[in-house]
């Protein structure tokens, strides 16, 4: 009864809110952009379609690097991959382009805090992702990856076999972030388990983050948030809630334990605590040395853990799976990589410096992350102030006039197309859409550096840029390189003979079997032992 009234009130509220938003925008010029396919949903169904690759490439070809996209009830939003516009959105004016991910799932973690609190949290977390710390984590990465190799070898006891590679890259990514994040093992990686990642396909997540979560935020009671999170029909979210619950509980216990250890009278216990390298330990030690106003509450530390798991797990496993899939499609590239790796491994396991300096391994990783960024365009921002957004390349406005900037009203939604930025032919040349690892081994076109893409990594936007850029990009590089160097030395990866794989444009790109249920993510590849 009460619930019924609440739901109705929410629907009325959202409707009025939307109409008001559309009305405010209607008096300003827009850019050219694709016509709405639906008066109610605008372009959202095509934009967030799991088969939307051609829609995305198509609108970028047709309308250029910046365009107007229609949201619910035709509300204008901006989609861009123009370098100058990206610089304004992510760097120069970042404080007025507010990220729209909600704290419903992640507590007070980096992905859901803003302004001063966000800055303070990033400062505390930075050392965790420094090169020095990456070096120290190498043994842990190898330990986990060797377990993965053992598990896969065991499966090939009776000869070559088809294996769902995504299942294993996901479990490996979870184990790595669990171990390095909390010093806690979630998965022994020994046997099969029934972990089968699914995704919410379609635009549901968009509606949730744009229209439902902000509403939930207004009711600032944890239990109401929880209720909303639990009743949103997103399978992925539900799976995530379970993982996050376990992490949350575990984090609370670990923090209590560590607090006790830090205050122990036995110096040996304190010394052990001082030497721990997981993220919670590092944050807790830092907490005792920084000034009062920079300290993190327990809630913030717990929030970081679930945020990191969410940010690290599916992204990196998607990227790794994509590389292994590409290598199965391009056996020549796979052989060349294997040669480079086995040659370097002659004197045993590769050190951090050896691993990061293998040129072909590096080229394959860079090219894959450029052409196939795991996050295609999610970086959604909401403008908090009227502003002017300038472009480096002119586009047409809705009257057919060439413009080099656009006036945007407070409240406008902005979508950054990472895919568009990474495959822009003006920057990368006429073969920009093709996957060619070799391009990184020779001189890149001058237009690449000349574009001044504000990305943190390699002139591409895969890990975003500015104050909210991906913190874990070095971590994920290292993870990919360790896993690839270990697996390629032991296994050959070939295409599945019976199950053709298609990649879906879900929030994080996912492989699925063409004839599958459209929900279960899987990447069947045919594995055999190397000699
Ligand atoms: C290939 C793998 C990865 C990709 C493609 C990726 C991509 C991204 C992107 C696009 C964002 C910006 C999201 C937004 O603001 O809209 C982001 C943020 C973030 N990523 Fe990653 N990520 C990857 C791996 C990782 C890993 C392994 C970690 C941690 C160990 C991590 C930690 C984070 C954190 C903490 C943020 C939030 C930063 C902030 O808001 O200040 N990511 N990532
Ligand atoms: C950090 O320090 C504050 C203030 O001393 C304290 O209340 C809080 O519990 C500490 N947080 C952690 C995670 O140790
Ligand atoms: C922009 O709009 C928001 C929400 O309607 C409002 O809270 C904020 O004060 C506005 N900003 C400015 C600078 O007017």
Task: Note whether 22 and 75 are within 8 A (CB).
Answer: yes
Mean of the per-residue pLDDT values of the chain: 85
> For the residues 364-388, what does the mean pLDDT come to?
91
| Whole-Å CA distances, 358 to 365, 372, 459, 505 | 11, 21, 20, 31
**Whether residue 362 has pLDDT greater than 90:** yes
130 C-beta closer than 6 A to ligand 3? no
Evaluate: CB of 54 within 6 angstroms of ligand 3. Answer: no
Would you say the C-alpha torsion 218, 223, 226, 227 has a positive or negative sign?
Answer: negative
- 121: Cα within 13 Å, side-chain hemisphere: 26
In 64-193, alpha helices (H): 83-87, 103-106, 115-125, 131-155, 165-182
State the Cα–Cα distance between residues 419 and 379, nearest whole angstrom.
11
Q: What does 205-238 look like in DSSP terms, one character per residue?
A: HHHIIIIIHHHHHHS--HHHHHHHHHHS--HHHH
Whole-angstrom Cα distance, residue 449 to residue 172?
Answer: 35
Q: What is the pTM of this model?
A: 0.88
**pLDDT tens string 104-154:** 556 677 877 888 888 888 888 888 888 888 898 899 999 999 999 999 999
User: In sequence order, which residues have a C-beta less than 8 Å from that of residue 339 and are 6 or more positions away?
Assistant: none
Residue 344, pLDDT > 50, answer yes
Rounded Cα distance, 104 and 102, in Å:
5
Distance (angstroms) between ligand 1 centre and the Cα of 465 equals 10
Distances (CA, A) of 20 to 72, 75, 86, 356: 12, 10, 28, 52
Q: How far is the CA of 410 from the centre of ligand 3 (A)?
A: 6
Question: Range with the lowest mean pLDDT among 96-100, 320-324, 366-370, 496-500?
Answer: 96-100
The pLDDT assigned to 199 comes to: 47
Cα separation, 481 vs 459, in Å, equals 20
pLDDT value of position 219: 47
* Residue 200 pLDDT: 42
pLDDT recorded at residue 220: 46
CA 257–ligand 2 middle distance (angstroms): 14
527 lines ligand 1 (CB under 6 A): no
Say how many Å lie between the CA of residue 48 and the centre of ligand 1: 20
Cβ neighbour number for residue 127 with a 10 Å cutoff? 13
Cα–ligand 1 centroid distance for 504 (angstroms): 20
Residue nearest to atom 8 of ligand 2 (CA): 297
Q: Report in angstroms the alpha-carbon separations of 178 from 185, 282, 469.
A: 6, 14, 22
Overall domain count for the chain: 1
Q: Is the CB of 386 under 6 A from ligand 3?
A: no
| Cβ proximity of 106 and 306 under 8 Å | yes
| Tens of pLDDT, residues 506-531 | 888 999 998 887 778 899 999 999 97
Residue 260 has pLDDT above 80, yes or no: yes
For residue 458, give its domain range. Answer: 2-529
Mutate to test the pocket of ligand 1, among 315, 316, 481 (most ligand atoms within 8 A of CB): 315
Q: Point out the ligand 2 atom lying closest to the alpha carbon of residue 300.
A: 13
Alpha carbons 267 and 287: distance in angstroms, whole number = 20
Helix and strand element counts for the chain (H, E): 22, 12
Digit-coded pLDDT (tens) for 4-29: 777 777 777 777 777 766 666 555 66
470 labelled binding-site residue? yes
- Which is it for strands 413-416 and 380-383: parallel, antiparallel or unpaired? antiparallel
The residues lining ligand 2, judged by C-beta closer than 6 Å to any ligand atom, are: 255, 284, 287, 295-298, 301
Does the Cβ of 472 fall within 6 Å of ligand 1?
A: yes
The answer to whether the beta carbons of residues 148 and 166 sit under 8 Å apart is no
- Looking at the chain, how many residues does it have? 531
Q: Residue 116: its pLDDT value, please?
A: 85
Is the beta carbon of 308 within 6 A of some atom in ligand 1?
A: yes
- Ligand number nearest CA of 117 is 1
Per the listing, tokens 């806690």 go with 184
- Output the domain CATH number for residue 522: 1.10.630.10
| Cα–Cα dist 379/27, whole Å | 26
Looking at ligand 2, which residue's alpha carbon is closest to its atom 13?
298
């Amino acid at each position: 009864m009460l619930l019924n009234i609440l739901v109705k009130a929410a629907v009325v509220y959202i409707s009025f809110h939307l109409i008001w938003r559309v009305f405010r925008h209607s008096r300003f010029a827009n850019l050219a952009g694709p016509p709405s396919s639906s008066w109610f949903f605008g372009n959202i169904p095509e934009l967030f379609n799991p088969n939307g690759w051609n829609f995305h490439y198509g609108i970028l070809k047709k309308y250029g690097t910046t365009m107007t996209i229609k949201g619910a009830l035709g509300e204008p939003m901006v989609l861009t991959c123009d370098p100058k516009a990206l610089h304004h959105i992510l760097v120069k004016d970042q404080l007025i382009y507010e990220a729209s991910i909600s704290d419903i799932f992640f507590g007070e973690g980096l992905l859901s805090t803003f302004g001063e609190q966000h800055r303070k949290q990033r400062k505390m977390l930075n050392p965790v992702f420094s090169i020095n710390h990456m070096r120290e984590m190498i043994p842990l990465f190898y330990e986990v990856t060797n377990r993965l190799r053992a598990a896969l070898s065991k499966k090939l006891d009776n000869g070559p076999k088809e294996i769902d590679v995504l299942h294993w890259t996901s479990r490996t990514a979870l184990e790595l972030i669990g171990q390095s994040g909390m010093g806690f093992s979630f998965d022994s990686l020994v046997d099969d388990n029934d972990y089968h990642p699914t995704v919410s396909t379609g635009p549901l997540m968009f509606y949730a983050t744009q229209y439902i979560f902000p509403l939930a935020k207004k009711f600032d009671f944890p239990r109401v948030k929880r209720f909303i999170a639990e009743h949103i029909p997103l399978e992925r979210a539900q799976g995530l809630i379970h993982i996050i619950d376990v992490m949350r509980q575990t984090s609370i216990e670990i923090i209590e334990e560590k607090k006790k250890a830090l205050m122990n009278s036995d110096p040996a216990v304190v010394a052990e605590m001082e030497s721990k390298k997981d993220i919670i330990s590092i944050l807790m030690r830092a907490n005792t040395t920084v000034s009062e106003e920079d300290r993190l509450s327990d809630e913030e530390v717990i929030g970081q853990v679930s945020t990191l798991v969410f940010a690290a797990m599916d992204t990196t496993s998607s990227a790794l799976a994509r590389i292994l899939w590409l290598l199965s499609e391009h056996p020549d590239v796979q052989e060349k990589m294997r040669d480079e790796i086995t040659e370097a491994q002659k004197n045993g396991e590769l050190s951090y410096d050896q691993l990061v300096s293998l040129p072909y391994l590096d080229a394959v990783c860079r090219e894959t992350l450029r052409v196939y960024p795991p996050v295609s365009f999610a970086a959604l921002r909401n403008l908090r102030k009227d502003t002017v957004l300038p472009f480096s390349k002119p586009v047409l406005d809705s009257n057919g006039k060439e413009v080099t900037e656009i006036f945007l009203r407070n409240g406008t939604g902005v979508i950054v197309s990472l895919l568009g930025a990474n495959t822009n032919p003006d920057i990368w040349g006429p073969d920009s859409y093709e996957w060619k690892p070799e391009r990184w081994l020779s001189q890149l076109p001058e237009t690449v550096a000349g574009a001044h893409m504000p990305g943190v990594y390699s002139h591409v936007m895969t890990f975003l840029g500015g104050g909210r850029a991906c913190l874990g990009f070095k971590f994920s590089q290292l993870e990919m390189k360790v896993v690839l160097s270990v697996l390629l030395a032991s296994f050959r990866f070939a295409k599945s003979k019976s199950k053709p794989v298609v990649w879906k444009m879900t929030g994080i790109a996912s492989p699925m079997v063409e004839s599958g249920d459209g929900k279960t993510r899987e990447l069947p590849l045919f594995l055999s032992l190397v000699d």
